[in-house]
Structure 1
Amino acid sequence: MKLKETKVIWSPLAEETYLNTLEFILKKWTIKEADELVCMIKDLIEKIQSFKNLCPPSRKHKNIRKCVVSYQTSLVYRIHKNFIEIVAFIDNRSNTIC
Structure 2
Amino acid sequence: MKETTVNVGVARVTFRLHGNDSLKGKRKIVKSLIERSRNRFPIAIAEVDDLDRYQRATLGIAVIGNDSRLLNAILDKVVEYMAGMGLADLESHHFEIIPL
Q: Is the TM-score greater than 0.5?
A: no
TM-score range, shorter chain: 0.3 to 0.5
Q: Which protein is bigger by CA-based radius of gyration?
A: 2
Q: Whose RCO is larger (CA < 8 A, sep 6+)?
A: 2
